[in-house]
Structure 1
Amino acid sequence: MAVTASLLGCGGGGGGASSGSSGGGGGFTPTPGGWVAGVFQAASSFKDKCAAVRTGTDIEGNGFPDRAGTATDEKNWLRSWTRETYLWNTEVADSNPALGGTRLQYFDTLKTFATTASGKAKDDFHFSEPTTEYLRRRNSAASASYGAEFVIISPTVPRDVRVVFTEPASPAEDMSGGQRKLIRGTRILTVNGIDLVNGGATQAEIDALNAGLFPANAGTTTTFTVQDPGASGSRTVVLTSQNLVAKAVNRTRVLTSGGQKVGYILFNTFSPYSSETELVTAVQQMQTEGVQDLVLDLRYNGGGLLAVASQLGFMVAGDTQTAGKTFELLRFNAAAGNRNPVTGQINDPVPFYRTGLGFSVADGTPLPSLNLPRVYVLATGDTCSASEAVVNGLRGAGVEVVLIGDKTCGKPYGFYPQDNCGETYYSIQFQGVNHLGFGDYADGFIPNNSASAFGVRLPGCVVGDDFGHELGDASERLLQTALSYRASGTCPTPVSSAVRSSSAGSATSRVPSIALEAPERWIMDTNRDMRLPH
């Protein structure tokens, strides 16, 4: 899957425009590789000058652009690229790239170290990875899985690992003994005979537990002992991993509440192109059923394609409320003016897209819409980036957003991944703002009754996951609270997540042990992906 340079900035060197001088220097131009404080050559003059030159082609068939250079050239490119494209470029201390340290150590310094009002790092998303890994992930349409999402509630003894949700028609949803093999809230007790709760005394056992929970390849067969929520006994489950593509829309429901129809959509990611079709199908179902309200479950949605987020906003709000309005405008650093400093293009706002864009729905196909004055959003700290853009974009269009759950992650920012010399860098380059010019939610959106002193307050209620009911069940705590708030406008007494409070043992009783760690979530899974299919 190739991605054009204009969209991901690959090979563009941040547009190649010089950022000039920020502090003296006049017309002085240093020699290539030289350094004068506050004077910056165009990033393009250092782009692809590498200490170790790659030859051949990458996994997408593109030839490597590398040419002979030095480690200092690579760091000079990072310095100039940061100056040209980083959102908070004037908050970055300018240091000599030739003074020791690797390119990655130098990159770590090229960010702001300011904090938000809550004390959270202002830039909490500065990252890099080998380009081979970036391309592998970007081109991986399917990955080995049982079709179950696990959450590690307690990583050390006594450990607590639960099933968060299962994928439709996956091995996890196969029937065994008259029930699905795994359900939401199922607790994992053993993996291939290894005690997950109190065992794992050696690194080898921890590695075996991780390999069983998170298989690297399809065809891996694993035996689990599990305990379902509310059950006193355990049962044995055997699962074989398959190469699966996660469903963007995991499930939909139409519920009756107070004599009216309320739609429910569990939407877990904006990332795959198929998310466009899946959302359209879900909203068409809601439209056909004549729902009066919608509960949009984004509690595990970390982000993805911003254009699909815009389409979702339109399908919720409809034409009248969004006509002539901006879904999101990207705000770059002050020196960028009216241009995107990464692509060099005019910085046009992202509208509320009202037709298919060609991701998986034919370009120009009219989208369905519900024309709702409000939407109920179920959220947690995993609700991030493009998901938050939906909340912010709808608020900018005058749609009331009722937030049920907890504080969102607080990422009004995004970036274009950029390769140079075999490393792909992620550096915050823009802030998304809505039609009203608002985008200051770095401490997240929070329900109005939250005890937190920080965050943007929205109507709604703080409530924790209970993991005791399937998602979409009217008795599941977040959905139940949304339906109750819809009827009464009041919140229940806040209750913390029962799964956390029911974990065996307390912090004071825990014994030293090796921690179980889930694979890290890919940073692009929590980003605004600016790609368009054409």
Structure 2
Amino acid sequence: MNQAFLSALIIGVSFVLYSCGDSNAQSGVPPIPNTNEPDWLVGQFSDDAIYKNLCAVPRIGPDSNGDTFLDSQGTAMHEKMWLRSWTHDTYLWYSEVDDNNPSHFSVADYFSQLKTNELTPSESLKDNFHFSQSTEQYNQRTQSGVTSGYGISWEYVSASAPRRLIVRYTEPNSPAAIAGVTRGYELKKIDDIDFVNATSEANVDKINAALSPSDTGQTFNFVFSDTTGKVLLATNLTSANIELQPVQNVKTIHTSAGKMGYMQFNSFIRTGQDGLINGFQEFVDQGITELVIDLRYNGGGLLAMASQVAYMIAGNAQTNNQIFETLEFNDKYPNVDPITGNTIQPTPFYTKAIDWNSNKLTSNTLPSVDLTRVFILATANTCSASEAVINGLRGIDVDVVLIGDTTCGKPFGFYATDNCSTTYFTIQFQGVNAKNFGAYSDGFKPVSSPIFDDQLPGCTVTDDFTSALGNEDEPLLAAAINFAESGLCPITTTLANKEVKVENTGNAINTPNTLLESMKILTPISEP
């Protein structure tokens, strides 16, 4: 098999071998220390390798994840010049980036403006997916499946007063789950501060400190209510390192259309592979004839895992020798991947489990349910690698029925790349399916009678948080069941507890970096 590429998020979130995550695999000798700042000349670009790993504050020794790096002494200007050359070489829309003087910016601010400001035909920004994160935090989440907090996935309905923050779900065995916090709970108070209406800077700072604790072992008192304002729970929550469980609520539902499998899948990260395999094996053993994959909060991740999921849905007969996705880089690289230097090869439908430590396929064949139709539960948080599953299946004529709302619209991806303690994400490619379609930057839309390629058969249904995920009465799942049985959408799909976000009035709380959850990240995969 030819070498192909994968994605970690959406958005997200294993990576190029010289990026964060496995820097020991980096070849070569550490750069020579250099404290003489390089000069910027407009329109003239040096090879980015000249500036790579020359850091204002080099890392010394392994970080908390055990990762080591090839940092050497440099300056902030070296870091900015690396970003500049790297962007000019690999960014998908490099010709649309203004060549501003780096000395006028901090490193972070300089990276933030190294992107196109052009708009799509629908008048939205062409690039909404340009961001960076601490390498140490990024590696912890994507490699070990660990994140700090209470184990709550929040829906930020409104970040400004009057605020509204709703629990989407909790991670099993997390502090929140153990305390009894559940889907649909709304946050009302933190340490006796009125979360909904607080406006003072001091109180907003305290709220942010509680929602995003700086370390484990920090305890705050949370008060939750239902949508009517009735207090349901007042409890102390202590921050901890949370082991994410990407696959949850695997079950088989008996319907008049036959046995239907349901799986909630939250992130395409390494630790999700075992849960996916076990879940699909359960579906095979149960003999399901319909399948619902709940991707409503899945922002993406490993493209290789997206390919695996698509194979486990469609099976060998439909995917054999078929293309899952082909990557298109900028016009400097029509045939070669600019990051790896390898000839561009289509990503196949992966039929084997992957050893993520070595980025190699194993000899273990994945289970598959061999279906010609799948229901995908989606919202605007369904992004990147999740959308790649949809697009890849449609490329081989598997029917995808979309239930919920329009997806986020991210046919693009990147190699997560570390430099000087920060992992950078800049759009480097667009993915197209076997039919050469990848133009869904405005998202996939559920409609009754699809006309365009970014429209799918399905139903628009509001995510209302009043029923547990996986419950047959939960509106999105109920709509999928009804569609499977009758071919019809529910009569009413509008529910009251989902509100439009209000404008930022200056007292907004910090919101999470949702871009981190919308990743399609690549790394080379090879035969064992």
2 CA distance for matches of 1:511 and 1:333?
A: 36
Native 8 Å contact 1:185 1:469 kept in 2: yes
Aligned to 1:278: 275
Native 8 Å contact 1:189 1:225 kept in 2: yes
Aligned to 1:520: 513
Per-residue CA deviation, residues 250-273 of structure 1 (Å, 9 max, x unaligned), is 2112111115111110000112x2
Native 8 Å contact 1:325 1:435 kept in 2: yes
Native 8 Å contact 2:463 2:498 kept in 1: no
1:146 to 141, 145, 150: 150
Aligned to 1:118: 122
Aligned to 1:380: 379
1:528 Cα deviation from its structure 2 partner: 1.3
Aligned to 1:393: 392
Secondary structure (helix, strand or coil) at the match of 1:313 reads helix
In the alignment, does 2:341 pair up with 1:344? yes
Q: Which structure ranks higher in relative contact order (CA pairs < 8 Å, sequence separation ≥ 6)? A: 2
Residue 454 to residue 171, structure 1, CA distance change in 2 (3 Å): farther
2 CA distance for matches of 1:484 and 1:61?
A: 49
TM-score, scaled to structure 1: 0.83
Per-residue CA deviation, residues 66-100 of structure 1 (Å, 9 max, x unaligned), is 354672x544433332232111223334x364774
Native 8 Å contact 1:10 1:419 kept in 2: no
1:317 to 293, 310, 314: 314
1 CA distance for matches of 2:393 and 2:504?
A: 47
Aligned to 2:17: 5
In the alignment, does 2:27 pair up with 1:35? no
1:471 maps to a residue whose letter is L
Residue 165 to residue 248, structure 1, CA distance change in 2 (3 Å): same
Secondary structure (helix, strand or coil) at the match of 1:515 reads coil
Per-residue CA deviation, residues 366-414 of structure 1 (Å, 9 max, x unaligned), is 1110110010000011101111110011111110111111111111111
1:172 maps to a residue whose letter is A
2 CA distance for matches of 1:241 and 1:99?
A: 39
Aligned to 1:330: 327
Residue 279 to residue 222, structure 1, CA distance change in 2 (3 Å): same
2 CA distance for matches of 1:440 and 1:474?
A: 34
Secondary structure (helix, strand or coil) at the match of 1:341 reads coil
Instruction: Give matches, 1:81-92, under 5 Å.
Output: 81-92=86-97
Aligned to 2:207: 209
In the alignment, does 2:262 pair up with 1:258? no
Per-residue CA deviation, residues 280-307 of structure 1 (Å, 9 max, x unaligned), is 1011111111111001100000111111
Residue 274 to residue 336, structure 1, CA distance change in 2 (3 Å): same
TM-score, scaled to structure 2: 0.84
Per-residue CA deviation, residues 486-532 of structure 1 (Å, 9 max, x unaligned), is 2222223463342125x9xx97xx996732333334x4432112236
Native 8 Å contact 1:464 1:498 kept in 2: no
Aligned to 1:296: 293
Aligned to 1:498: 496
Aligned to 1:24: none
Per-residue CA deviation, residues 457-498 of structure 1 (Å, 9 max, x unaligned), is 111111111211111111111111111122222223463342
Residue 469 to residue 63, structure 1, CA distance change in 2 (3 Å): closer
Native 8 Å contact 2:400 2:457 kept in 1: yes
Secondary structure (helix, strand or coil) at the match of 1:496 reads coil
Mean CA deviation greater in 320-329 or 142-151: 142-151
1:228 Cα deviation from its structure 2 partner: 3.5
Mean CA deviation greater in 127-136 or 349-358: 127-136
2 CA distance for matches of 1:15 and 1:410?
A: 36
Secondary structure (helix, strand or coil) at the match of 2:497 reads helix
* Unpaired stretches in structure 1, ≥5 consecutive residues: 17-31, 176-180
2:331 maps to a residue whose letter is A
Residue 471 to residue 132, structure 1, CA distance change in 2 (3 Å): closer
Per-residue CA deviation, residues 228-281 of structure 1 (Å, 9 max, x unaligned), is 45785544334444322111102112111115111110000112x221110010
Native 8 Å contact 2:175 2:237 kept in 1: yes
- Choose 1 or 2 for highest CA Rg: 1
Native 8 Å contact 1:414 1:527 kept in 2: yes
1:160 to 161, 164, 185: 164
1:128 maps to a residue whose letter is S
Residue 147 to residue 377, structure 1, CA distance change in 2 (3 Å): same
Residue 53 to residue 259, structure 1, CA distance change in 2 (3 Å): closer
Residue 91 to residue 9, structure 1, CA distance change in 2 (3 Å): farther
In the alignment, does 2:210 pair up with 1:224? no
Aligned to 1:27: none
In the alignment, does 2:80 pair up with 1:80? no
Residue 163 to residue 133, structure 1, CA distance change in 2 (3 Å): closer
Q: % of aligned pairs identical?
A: 39
